[in-house]
C-alpha cells in the first residue's frame, strides 16, 4: 500500500476527534443505546484476514444500528528482514472505518497501545515490538514519519477505556489482577485522566489494561463494581478462541485462525451461557 503521509495523518486526526466528541462518550466510557446490535472482538494483533472478514460481515453501511468493538490491533508478527513491522496499516484502516462510521465503530485502549505511546519495550521473539512498529512507520513515510507517529499516538490516547451496554455487557481490554481490584480507582471511567493514571504498575489505567490471570472471584467483584452482568475482555491469549473465567467474565481472542467474535442483541439480556452460545468463529465467515 502506498499512501501519502497527509492522508494518513488526516484520517488519524479525524478519528481522534470522533473518539473525543462522540455523543455516546462520557469521559472514558462509551455508553451504547438499548437497541441494535453489538459485535465484540478480542485482540486482533494485525490479523489482517480476521480484520477484513469482520468488516465485510459487519457491513456497517447497510446495518446502521450495528456497533463494532475493536481493540489491540497493532503489533503483529509480520517482521521484515530489517526488523520493521507494518501494523500501522491496520490501525490506519480502523481509523478510516471510524471516520466513515463514527457512531458505530468503538475502540478500547489496550496495553500495546500504551506501550507504543510511551515507546516502552514489549518483547516478542527477542524483538521490541514498539521499535519494530516505529521502524515500519519510518519505512513507509521517511521524513514525515515523526508527524505520522504523533498522529498515531494522539489517536491511541483518545481511545476510551470501556464500553457499557444497557443490557449488562461491559467491554474493556482486561481487568486488574488479583489484589488490585480492592483498591482500584473505578473513577477512571468517569473523570479526565492525568499522567499518574498511566504509571507503570501503580496507575489504574495501567492496572486495568495489563491485568492478567485474575481469579473468577476478582473478575466477579470487578463486574459488580461496574454494574455489569458479564465483562467481556481480550488480552489473555486463548487458543480455543475464548475462556469463561467464572460467571461474570468472558475472554475472547480474535488474533488467529480459531479466533472468535461475539455478536449480541443490545435489546436482550444475557447470562454467561447465552453469550457463549452466541460466540462465532472467524473461520466460519466468508
Asked if residue 158 binds Mn ion (CB under 5 A), the reply is: no
Asked if residue 207 binds Mn ion (CB under 5 A), the reply is: no
- What is the rounded CA–CA span in Å between residue 89 and residue 86? 6
Of residues 72 and 149, the one with the C-beta less far from Mn ion: 72
Binding-residue pattern over the window 211 to 250 for Mn ion, x denoting contact by CB under 5 A:
------------------------x---------------
* Pairing of the two strands 260-265 and 37-43: antiparallel
Q: How many CB atoms lie within 10 A of CB 156?
A: 22
**Which letter, b or e, does each residue of 239-278 get, where b requires 16 or more Cβ atoms within 10 Å of its Cβ?**
eebbeebbebbbbbbbbbeebbbbbbebeeebebeebeee
Of residues 72 and 85, the one with the C-beta less far from Mn ion: 72
Asked if residue 45 binds Mn ion (CB under 5 A), the reply is: no
Q: With contacts defined by CB under 5 A, how many residues of the chain interact with Mn ion?
A: 4
Of residues 104 and 174, the one with the C-beta less far from Mn ion: 174
Of residues 56 and 212, the one with the C-beta less far from Mn ion: 212
Least CB distance to Mn ion at residue 233 (A)? 9
Of residues 97 and 253, the one with the C-beta less far from Mn ion: 253
Binding-residue pattern over the window 253 to 272 for Mn ion, x denoting contact by CB under 5 A:
--------------------
Candidates 11-19, 69-77, 136-144, 270-278; binding stretch for Mn ion (CB under 5 A): 69-77
Of residues 47 and 235, the one with the C-beta less far from Mn ion: 235
Paired with 106 in beta bridges are: 69
Residue 77 corresponds to which cell in the numbers above?
A: 508478527
Asked if residue 111 binds Mn ion (CB under 5 A), the reply is: yes
Least CB distance to Mn ion at residue 66 (A)? 25
Least CB distance to Mn ion at residue 110 (A)? 5
Residue 285 corresponds to which cell in the numbers above?
A: 465467515
Contact call for residues 3 and 234 (beta carbons, < 8 A) = no
Q: Which positions ≥6 away from 257 have C-beta within 8 Å? A: 49, 282, 283
Of residues 104 and 111, the one with the C-beta less far from Mn ion: 111
Asked if residue 67 binds Mn ion (CB under 5 A), the reply is: no
Contact call for residues 163 and 41 (beta carbons, < 8 A) = no
Least CB distance to Mn ion at residue 62 (A)? 31
In this chain, which residue has its C-beta nearest to Mn ion?
A: 235
Q: What is the DSSP letter of 177?
A: P
Burial-class residue 142 by CB neighbours within 10 Å (0-12, 13-18, 19+). exposed
- What is the rounded CA–CA span in Å between residue 158 and residue 181? 24
Site residues for Mn ion per CB under 5 A = 72, 110-111, 235
Amino acid at each position: 500500500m502506498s499512501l501519502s503521509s497527509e492522508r494518513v495523518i488526516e484520517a488519524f486526526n479525524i478519528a481522534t476527534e470522533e473518539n473525543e466528541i462522540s455523543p455516546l462518550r462520557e469521559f472514558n466510557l462509551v455508553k451504547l443505546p438499548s437497541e441494535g446490535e453489538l459485535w465484540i472482538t478480542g485482540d486482533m494483533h494485525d490479523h489482517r484476514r480476521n480484520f477484513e472478514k469482520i468488516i465485510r460481515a459487519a457491513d456497517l453501511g447497510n446495518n446502521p444500528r450495528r456497533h463494532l468493538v475493536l481493540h489491540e490491533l497493532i503489533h503483529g508478527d509480520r517482521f521484515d528482514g530489517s526488523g520493521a513491522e507494518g501494523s500501522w496499516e491496520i490501525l490506519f484502516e480502523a481509523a478510516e472505518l471510524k471516520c466513515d462510521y463514527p457512531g458505530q465503530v468503538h475502540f478500547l485502549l489496550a496495553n500495546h497501545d500504551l506501550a507504543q505511546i510511551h515507546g516502552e519495550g514489549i518483547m516478542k521473539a527477542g524483538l521490541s515490538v514498539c521499535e519494530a512498529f516505529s521502524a515500519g512507520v519510518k519505512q513507509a513515510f521517511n521524513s514525515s514519519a515523526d508527524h505520522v507517529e504523533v498522529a498515531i499516538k494522539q489517536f491511541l490516547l483518545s481511545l476510551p477505556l470501556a464500553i457499557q451496554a444497557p443490557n449488562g455487557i461491559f467491554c474493556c481490554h482486561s481487568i486488574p489482577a488479583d489484589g488490585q481490584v480492592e483498591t482500584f480507582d473505578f473513577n477512571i471511567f468517569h473523570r479526565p485522566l492525568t499522567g499518574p493514571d498511566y504509571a507503570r504498575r501503580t496507575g489504574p489505567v495501567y492496572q486495568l489494561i495489563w491485568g492478567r490471570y485474575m481469579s473468577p472471584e476478582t473478575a466477579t467483584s470487578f463486574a459488580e463494581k461496574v454494574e455489569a452482568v458479564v465483562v467481556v475482555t481480550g488480552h489473555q491469549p486463548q487458543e480455543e478462541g475464548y475462556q469463561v473465567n467464572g460467571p461474570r467474565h468472558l475472554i475472547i481472542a480474535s488474533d488467529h485462525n480459531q479466533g472468535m467474535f461475539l455478536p449480541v442483541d443490545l435489546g436482550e439480556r444475557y447470562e454467561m451461557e447465552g453469550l457463549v452460545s452466541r460466540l462465532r468463529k472467524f473461520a466460519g465467515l466468508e
